[in-house]
Structure 1
Amino acid sequence: MPGTTALDPLFHAADAPRFTDRHLATLAAGTLAAVRVPGFLDPAVCAAALAAVDRLPTADYDPARVPTPIVRFGPALNDYRTANGGLDGRYWHDAEAARAAWQRAGLRQDPIALSLARLGSAWGAAVTPATIAGRAVFGGTLREINAGALVHYDDINREFPTGAFDQEVIAQLAFNVWVAVPEGGGATTVWRHRWEPADEQARDAYGYRPEAVERFQSVSLTPQLGDGLLFNPANYHAVAPNRGGRRIAFAFFLGLTTTGQLVAWS
């Protein structure tokens, strides 16, 4: 079972046989920490996706910005944010290049498409790409995180305070599905704490030092092959280093809009 510090009884991590609309709603509302569906993808789909990883043009982050090595495929909006809160025009070129590379990789069972379809079925309406001036953004990155990730949060409305999309997003969720897991370690921890100005005293590169969250309740989940995980990334979260093996996940964000739609992006 997921490890929990029992303070707020609503802030816990639930294992479930499938995602439901109730899970999505409570995560959006902030009254649940995380939902994990063991075996969300079966081993054959995971194996095919892992085989495709070597056919994708992956790269490391700039170590000056991301001090722990993280291998990535696919553009993330936040990496293209300009100083005035806009979007660097290079994003669209890189998004098209990533779509082309994904097609060339030739996955017969696309883990991103499968995940989006199942989450749409749970919500009761298809998940659609978020758009900017009518153009669909890229959704579905790959991240190989073996040395861990700093404590940080993701919040599209803080990252782009004048608005990122044509759609108005009122709550953001993060989805991960693992196609390779390490022999040990690699847990995702989510804290019952969201950014406040005083946290900037603990700023460290793209994230924060542990002191920013040390007083707060948390849940930790160690991934197993094929697990699907949803949580609200406005809560601080981090990844522990591996103990042998590779930790590879496909990931995207979901946004609940003012019209009740779910949109996706990376």
Structure 2
Amino acid sequence: MPALRVDPLFALLVADAYTDRHIAALAAGTAAAVHIPGFLDEPTCAVTIKSTNRLPIDDYDPTRVPVRIARFGPALNDYRGSDGALHERYWQAANAARIAWTAARLRPDPVAIALARLGAAWGSAIAPATISGRPVFGGTLREINNGAFVHFDEVVREYPDGLFDQQVIAQLAFNLWIAAPESGGETTMWRRRWRPDDETHRTGYGYTPSTVRGYQHISLRSSAGDALLFNSANLHAVAPNPGQRRVAFAFFLGLTVTGTLIFWS
């Protein structure tokens, strides 16, 4: 069997804080991910995990996501209709989530902290993506204890006719853990993007492991307080961590043609 050819640029970068070069490298595909240990300190994580009890937690539709993932906040790809357009129900869910978020009074607000630090790194504030002038929701909370299938997230493929007022040229995923397991729960990212023939390996919302077998990859198990930023167009998955909690805030960042950053979930 021939040796795996390795891309030296597909690397995990570890730093004390995010920089504009990190974001640019991820967008350009010259880094795999940027990991910031201790993005939030332990006392903040402890306060935040208690505060999340005030949020209304729901599960994904089991017909679409058969492995249970508890979450708060709507995601755009959950409301894509059969015609490929965003269903009007999304706006009702987004409004309800904003009301619930305000009522929960998360102090400190981990999503606001993350957006402020990332915006400072990039050199300009990060605004929510908009659709016909209406801002979308950003900042879901997810508890993934049973793992997540191999999948990719790329809004320009999910909505090929266009969705946002802004034109996105690269999409990054941000995760900030407030509870993490001592074993299992690794995030794995492959140097592999979607190809049309991957649809023969589809299972539910994702793909079978054979899709990424033999490809260069990076796996990371994060601790509570850690942050991870990576290009979500690369196939990625989460390993199960039975018996412990893996809870993270998450949102997507989009680099636009004008050089600004927008966010959504």
TM-score (norm 1): 0.97
Alignment match, 1:98: 97
Single out whichever of 214-223 and 60-69 deviates more from structure 2: 60-69
Alignment match, 1:159: 158
SS for the counterpart of 1:54 is: helix
Output one character per residue of 1:142-184: Cα deviation in whole Å (capped at 9) or x when no partner.
Answer: 0000000000000000001111100000000000000001121
Deviation at 1:124, TM superposition (A): 0.5
Deviation at 1:44, TM superposition (A): 2.0
Letter in 2 for 1:42: D
Letter in 2 for 1:191: W
SS for the counterpart of 1:64 is: coil
Letter in 1 for 2:183: G
SS for the counterpart of 1:237 is: strand
Alignment match, 2:241: 242
SS for the counterpart of 2:244 is: coil
Unmatched 5+ stretches in structure 2: none
- Count of aligned pairs: 262
Rounded to whole Å, the distance in 1 between the matches of 2:182 and 2:27 is 32
List structure 1 segments (4+ residues) > 2 angstroms apart after TM superposition.
Answer: none
Rounded to whole Å, the distance in 1 between the matches of 2:256 and 2:104 is 32
Unmatched 5+ stretches in structure 1: none
Deviation at 1:244, TM superposition (A): 2.7
Letter in 1 for 2:52: V
Contact 2:138–2:263 under 8 Å retained in 1 = yes
Rounded to whole Å, the distance in 1 between the matches of 2:159 and 2:47 is 36
Alignment match, 1:136: 135
Contact 1:14–1:36 under 8 Å retained in 2 = yes
Rounded to whole Å, the distance in 2 between the matches of 1:108 and 1:201 is 46
RMSD (Å), alpha carbons: 1.0
Alignment match, 1:38: 37
Contact 2:186–2:221 under 8 Å retained in 1 = yes
Alignment match, 1:191: 190
Deviation at 1:6, TM superposition (A): 7.4
What aligned pairs does 1:66-81 form with structure 2 within 5 A after superposition?
Answer: 66-81=65-80
Alignment pair present for 1:212 and 2:194: no
TM-score (norm 2): 0.97
Output one character per residue of 1:3-62: Cα deviation in whole Å (capped at 9) or x when no partner.
Answer: xx8711000111101110000001001111000000001112211221122111111112
Letter in 2 for 1:144: E
Rounded to whole Å, the distance in 2 between the matches of 1:44 and 1:80 is 36
Contact 1:147–1:242 under 8 Å retained in 2 = yes
